[in-house]
Amino acid sequence: MPTSIDVFAKARENERIEQLKAARELGAVPYFHVLEGPTLPVVEMEGMRRIMLGSNNYLGLTGDERVRQGAIDAVNKYGTGLTGSRFLNGTIDLHLELEHELAQWLGTEDALVFTTGHQANLGALGTLLGPGDTVIADSGDHASILDGCILSRAKLRPFRHGRMHLLEKALDRATGDGGGILVVVDGVFSMEGDVAPLPEIVELCARYGARLMVDEAHALGVLGARGAGTCELFGVEDRVDLRMATFSKSLASCGGVIAGAADVIEYLRIQSRPFMFTAASVPAAVGAALAAVRICRSEEGPALFARVLDNARYLHDGLTALGFHVVEPTRLNDGSDVVTPVVPVLVGDDWKAAFLWKALYEAGVFVNTALHPAVPPAGALLRTSVMATHDRTTLDQALETFAQVKQAFESEHGPLPSRQ
């Protein structure tokens, strides 16, 4: 008898579809807005000049002449696409140079370049973990980490974001699961912009015999004296087994990397399905990423890292002074704090977040809106982020807009969350 169940029914019945329809009618959909030029501190978007506080172009390198030239030279030499996987027919010398330079930068034995960061997480976790193993992940980890864990069919033991006693409890339980254990955390969490307490995490992993992988997507090219990320910042590079990063943020391109011990990387090279069964990243993407890596590793790098963090601090302080509830930089045990380019404004309610986004957008400031599942339920936030290339005049204009919008918004919708 034919089934009466339509697998497409969910496309009609999903509650998000109704919400999207309603938001569309109100002109309050914060997603899929169209850029009409490069992602720079100020962009043309849907017919208007807007200040861009919603990109991951942390160093502003998408507009850098050398990075653009890296892409152009790669297209001129290799054409527009490679039409096959790295494994079979899509490896060019630029992939190998990039892998070599990334391994040097990160101080690892080897590195493997994937077509996207999402695939790098899928390809590492889905290959190194198996059904008998346990993977322990922070609940704030990026979706691609969760996807990799699911792909692997390892036992997943999530722990509540940043709670070290819960990580320890998970490790303790995992030792009874009977397989290998991998802990995987974001170095900088993508939505809240906070930093994983790596010194404590490496200690716990060592105590329980677990391997550790750190996703440096939002930290590479930003944190640490060399810009090598949170592992460098905390001085634990030699105690972290695998490092992942993307090229889609500071490196102004698209692609991902897994870096670590030579034997592990070699194994991924010949076994990782998300590496082997997808087309190699296009020459332009690799050429641009390589040029960006070289800028980060040059004398110019540290000044760029300092500038983006300085801008982040300025925006954080400015928004806090206006009375917004801004996520605080992570405080370290020694009393100092770690600023990252991600400066989130907590809103809480999904609809309020959408309306606040709309008011800012109409006033000429673009920010990102994060709703569940990107953040916990009722934890909606506007994720602002800065570039090294934002100047103070532009940030001041953005702050002025936030001030005006807040006043008008609160008189219509009631108060926004504040710090106390």
Q: Which residues are catalytic?
A: 190, 218, 249
Question: Residue 74 or residue 137: which is nearer to ligand PLP going by CB?
Answer: 137
- Least distance in Å: CB of 144 to ligand PLP? 5
Number of residues that bind ligand PLP (CB under 6 A): 14
Take residue 403 and report the two structure tokens written for it: 């001030």
Query: 55, 57, 62, 116: which one contacts ligand PLP (CB under 6 A)?
Result: 116
Sign of CA dihedral 184, 189, 192, 196: positive
Query: 55, 57, 127, 144: which one contacts ligand PLP (CB under 6 A)?
Result: 144
Query: 248, 250, 330, 385: which one contacts ligand PLP (CB under 6 A)?
Result: 248
Alpha-carbon distance 156 to 131, whole Å?
Answer: 10
Q: Which of residues 160-199 bind ligand PLP (CB under 6 A)?
A: 186, 190
Does 133 bind ligand PLP (CB under 6 A)? Our answer is: no
Query: 86, 95, 118, 383: which one contacts ligand PLP (CB under 6 A)?
Result: 118
Classify strands 365-370 and 380-385 as parallel, antiparallel or unpaired.
antiparallel
Does 215 bind ligand PLP (CB under 6 A)? Our answer is: yes
Range in contact with ligand PLP (rule: CB under 6 A) among 14-22, 86-94, 153-161, 211-219: 211-219
> Is residue 3 exposed (0-12), middle (13-18) or buried (19+ Cβ within 10 Å)?
exposed
Query: 60, 117, 193, 287: which one contacts ligand PLP (CB under 6 A)?
Result: 117
223 neighbors 75 (Cβ within 8 angstroms): no
Question: Residue 121 or residue 250: which is nearer to ligand PLP going by CB?
Answer: 121
Q: Which of residues 24-83 bind ligand PLP (CB under 6 A)?
A: none
The DSSP letter of residue 62 is G
Which residues, in sequence order, are CB contacts of 411 under 8 Å at separation 6+? none
Could you give the residue ranges of the DSSP H alpha helices within 209-349? 230-233, 262-271, 273-276, 283-297, 301-321
Alpha-carbon distance 379 to 93, whole Å?
Answer: 45
Question: Residue 158 or residue 302: which is nearer to ligand PLP going by CB?
Answer: 158
Question: Residue 41 or residue 229: which is nearer to ligand PLP going by CB?
Answer: 229
Classify strands 330-331 and 242-246 as parallel, antiparallel or unpaired.
unpaired
Classify strands 110-114 and 134-138 as parallel, antiparallel or unpaired.
unpaired
Positions touching ligand PLP (CB under 6 A) are 116-118, 121, 142, 144, 186, 190, 215, 217-218, 246, 248, 256
